[in-house]
Structure 1
Amino acid sequence: MIQLILARHAKSDWADEGLDDHERPLNDRGRREAPAMARSALRRGVRPEVLLTSTAVRARSTAAAFAEEFEVDMTEQPELYLADADALLETARATGAHEVMVVAHDPGMSELVSRLAERDVRMVTSAVAIFTWHEGDWNDVGTTAPDEFELLTP
């Protein structure tokens, strides 16, 4: 079984216009939604072995809420910051783990989710896409339709 969980970071704070994009924190809504979405995913039986996150502050903060709820360590991956769909998938695949969560950014996140779901999917902030392949391995991800797909939105 392969389970790939893709989460777009929670809502970020744009109040400080001079702040570098990489350093933008979550706003109040984002700080509320990240743990709520983590609990929602957990109720559906999601518990990744590996949790990867972009190094951006807003992604790391989102991932930290999931890591706490799932009781798993998170690993920062610089290549996930503003990564395209192919880079997101390759980073997850490279772990070799059966259950992997990636917290990153759009437009790459929406592109990858749409590709795997075989339909247009807009990943709003805090959205979580859960893909499951009951048979096969990482070579099937992206070439074979998933057995299950669920999109969680705030």
Structure 2
Amino acid sequence: MIRHGKSDWSNRGLGDFDRTLNERGLRNAPEMARRLAERNEVPQAVVSSPAVRAKTTAEIFCREWGYPATDILFKEEIYEASPSTLLKVINGLDDRYDSVALFGHNPGLTEIVNQLCNSDLYNLPTCGVVLISFPFASWQLLSRQTGDQLLFDYPKNEEGEAD
């Protein structure tokens, strides 16, 4: 699970869906992608909300990973999704993939992480990453409290601050 980078609020005329990343978001995204690559945690597939800030974040991560941005699967239902909607998206993933990066938004991402892992994550910060492992070979079997949180990382982690 990867939350989109910090968005730009300077253009008040843009709707929420069309908000872009600000300078910090553009700086944090490649850094977080590199951190995952250094851990050898590059997914086999990438699924993203089509909202501009999520799409841009996913494209930046893909560029860092050497993953073709044209292969990103955009799913409209991820935008403003509830945890139950996110679970439906996850349950519908192709079983040929052992690892998938899902780029989306709060509060849905924080809530689905807490449900899947029985975690007490207060807030998944912008450009934050949570790696979850499941003991199943099929995405259809994922449900509440079936995952183990392997990693929680975010841009300010080294500074000891949260967003």
Question: TM-score, normalising length from structure 2?
Answer: 0.84
Is the deviation greater in 87-96 or in 76-85? 87-96
Identity %: 34
Other-structure match for 2:4: 9
The offset of 1:142, in angstroms, is 2.2
How far apart in 1 are the matches of 2:12 and 2:144?
A: 41
Q: Offset at 1:56?
A: 0.6
Determine the C-alpha separation between the residues in 2 that align with 1:147 and 1:119. 9
SS at match of 1:123: coil
Aligned to 2:6, what secondary structure does the other structure show? coil
Query: What residue number does 2:108 align with?
Result: 108
Q: How many residues in Structure 1 have an aligned counterpart in Structure 2?
A: 149
Which structure shows the higher strand fraction? 1
What amino acid is aligned across from residue 26 of structure 2 in structure 1? R
The answer to whether the 8 A contact 1:92-1:101 is kept is no
Partner of 2:85: 87
Q: Deviations over 1:90-147 (max 9, x none)?
A: 2123122221111000110000111122122110101000011255432442245334
Q: Give the conservation status (yes or no) of the 8 Å contact 1:128–1:152.
A: yes
Answer whether contact 2:50 2:76 (CA < 8 A) is retained. yes
**1:40 Cα deviation after fit:** 0.7
Per-residue CA deviations over 1:56-101 (Å, capped at 9, x if unaligned) read: 1000010001111222231211111111112222212312222111
**Counterpart of 1:118 in structure 2: which amino acid?**
N
Distance in 2, Cα, partners of 1:37 & 1:56: 20
Higher RCO (CA < 8 A, seq sep 6+): 1
Q: Report the counterpart of residue 62 of structure 2 in structure 1.
A: 67
Structure 2 gaps, min length 5: 156-163
- Say if 1:64 and 1:90 are closer, same or farther in 2 by CA, change over 3 A: same
Structure 1: distance between partners of 2:17 and 2:136: 38
- Whether 1:117 and 2:112 are equivalent positions in the alignment is no
Change (3 A) 1:135 1:91: closer
| 1:3 aligned partner | none
Distance in 1 between the 2:4 and 2:79 partners?
A: 11
The whole-number CA distance in structure 2 between the counterparts of 1:32 and 1:70 is 16
User: Is the counterpart of residue 132 in structure 1 residue 133 in structure 2?
Assistant: yes
C-alpha distance in 1, partners of 2:21/2:86? 22
Post-superposition CA distance 1:9-48 (Å, at most 9, x none): 0000000112111000000000000111111111112121
Q: Which residue of the partner structure matches residue 23 of structure 1?
A: 18
CA distance in structure 2 between the aligned counterparts of 1:143 and 1:136, rounded to whole angstroms: 16
Q: Does 1:40 align with 2:35?
A: yes
SS of structure 1 residue aligned to 2:80: coil
AA at the equivalent of 2:127: S
